[in-house]
Amino acid sequence: MTRKTEKAKTEKLTRAELTERITAGVAPDLQAQAVTLADAILAMQEKITTSIPEYKAMPLSQTVTVGTGETILRANPAAQEFRATVRDYAQALKSLNEILASGKPTTSATAVDDLRARFGVG
């Protein structure tokens, strides 16, 4: 099977099916943690993929008038949100990769709970 064929099959799977496939070989005691991370990663991947065109078009900074009438340059909140999502995606991907590779938990329960709360999964 070629890489293109594998990719085409992967794209047709639902997020739940992809999560199940990614976490198939995980030890039972780590299964819930791996499923949560995999689901969060797939959700963030969707969000990032759909946001890339918007991010490329938006300015990285904005001019804002403060109460004294001065104008200041500040970071665009939408650009900061996109960057934070990419950063969280990379960290979650790294954590899941370590779980899958070694079979040992690398993130604490608080980090997993933070991902669940932030992205509404689990």
| Domain residue limits, the chain | 15-119
* pLDDT tens digits along 81-119: 999 999 999 999 888 888 888 654 444 555 566 666 666
When pLDDT is cut at 50, 70 and 90, the band that residue 71 belongs to is very high
Provide the pLDDT for residue 33.
86
> Measured between alpha carbons, how far is residue 102 from residues 33, 35, 43, 66, 117 in Å?
14, 16, 24, 52, 26
C-alpha torsion angle, residues 55, 61, 66, 71 (rounded to 10): -140
